Amino acid sequence: MLLVNTIRDNFETVLEGLQKRNFTHAEATLHQVLELDKTRKETQTERDNLQAESNNISKEIGALMREGRKEEAEKIKSRTAEIKSQIKILEDNYNNVEEDLRQILYTIPNVPHISVPSGKSADDNEIVLEHGSIPDLPESKLPHWELIKKYDIIDFDLGVKIAGAGFPVYKGRGARLQRGLINFFLDEAMKAGYTEIQPPILVNEDSGYGTGQLPDKEGQMYEATADKLFLIPTAEVPITNLYRDVILNEQDFPIKNVAYTPCFRREAGSWGAHVRGLNRLHQFDKVEIVQVVHPDNSYEVLEDMSNYVQSLLQKLELPYRVLRLCGGDMGFTSSLTYDMEVYSAAQERWLEVSSVSNFENYQSNRLKLRYKGEDKKTILAHTLNGSALALPRIVASILENNQTEHGIKMPNVLVPYLGFDMI
């Protein structure tokens, strides 16, 4: 959530950034924020003045009573009752205005970093780098949805029987490949200084609002309506909310957490021929990295996190590229996002496997996640997160890129985790 002071003090910069995102009615919305904030301050000032008057009258009544001038004291008591009634009305008005202001701020996305390119869709994203060679597969190559049937390692039909489309069942070496990848990703993260967390996979509304899933992505989350809980779309939500309403010390930075969780997404309206097999699921496994850092260091940390995710792809021997997302393709809460895509040789297309994002203080403002600076003032921290990594498309690319006439060769780095080198 943007700070009102940021909007007021940097109006043109904020407006330019929101226009880069193609945010509708940006200027009118920002002016509405400032008008509501003005009303809020005026209401607060009026309330404070009345409270001060009430306090002075109370002192005057006390003095009159001590002097035995009870009749005079009683005459001015009626004014205190009138003031209390006015204060109550002003407090209600203040709360209503503050709620209106909060709800409007919830609708405004984060301001993109200056380096974010303009654009309306994924076609306008900027390629930062490419790494690795695209495998030269024979004409008989198979996409992963055919390979998993051939080797009987993942069963979509059983998943439909149990839950519905988008909930695959992993079997035998397919299940071991899942577990091996999870353990590999967790081990690598801990080597890089991340602390492993095992969070709940259900979160409450406050957590959803804290990281920006609510109200923006409410329709994409599965909800346990009886208890007003949501299945997590990513471990970012529970991990980042560990620090909601927390005041850190400056020496606590950087905070580095990693978690493996299943993730759940309704993916409403996103189905089609281009999302066959593992390309898009309702339930999938992911290892997530989250950092809470000093504002001065967050973009350096973003580059470090991007390099870390790239190192995983290099160890898995997968060709990949890094994209800087344009304003029209960024997530609602992000200030700058890098997407990592691996090349799927049988599908002959790039598949996104990770997003690494800096949210600056956008999430922290919602979370009230602060730290004490040198002058003891509380300052909003910066938060970042990244997939390291999401499994479905990694598995799809491993299966497709490494297929041979004898089977599917596993990346060397995974063999100790799997206990086999071929499927």
The two structure tokens encoding residue 329: 């393709």
Closest among 288, 283, 284, 264 to 198, alpha carbons compared: 288
User: Is 353 annotated as contributing to ligand binding?
Assistant: yes
Closest among 377, 418, 364 to 395, alpha carbons compared: 418
Is the CB of residue 6 less than 8 Å from the CB of residue 108?
no
DSSP 328: T
Is the CB of residue 231 less than 8 Å from the CB of residue 201?
yes
Identity of the residue numbered 31: H
User: Is 40 annotated as contributing to ligand binding?
Assistant: no
Angle at 408 between CA 407 and CA 412, to 5 degrees: 130
User: Is 352 annotated as contributing to ligand binding?
Assistant: yes
Residue with the two structure tokens 């922290």: 364
- CA dist 25 and 16 (Å) reads 12
Identity of the residue numbered 372: K
- CA dist 333 and 275 (Å) reads 25
User: Is 102 annotated as contributing to ligand binding?
Assistant: no
- CA dist 100 and 33 (Å) reads 9
User: Is 69 annotated as contributing to ligand binding?
Assistant: no
User: Is 341 annotated as contributing to ligand binding?
Assistant: no
Closest among 233, 275, 237 to 390, alpha carbons compared: 233
Is the CB of residue 190 less than 8 Å from the CB of residue 388?
no
User: Is 79 annotated as contributing to ligand binding?
Assistant: no
User: Is 173 annotated as contributing to ligand binding?
Assistant: no
User: Is 234 annotated as contributing to ligand binding?
Assistant: yes
Which whole-number Å values give the CA distances from 209 to 205, 213, 238, 291, 367, in the listed order?
A: 6, 6, 11, 19, 8
Own/partner long-range contacts of 43-46 (Cβ < 8 Å, ≥24 apart): 43/90, 43/93, 43/94, 43/97, 44/94, 46/90
- CA dist 320 and 354 (Å) reads 11
Angle at 165 between CA 164 and CA 167, to 5 degrees: 80
User: Is 10 annotated as contributing to ligand binding?
Assistant: no
Question: Which residue ranges make up the annotated binding site?
Answer: 234, 265-267, 288, 352-355, 385
Question: Which residue ranges make up the annotated binding site for ATP?
Answer: 265-267, 352-355
Question: Which residue ranges make up the annotated binding site for L-serine?
Answer: 234, 265, 288, 385
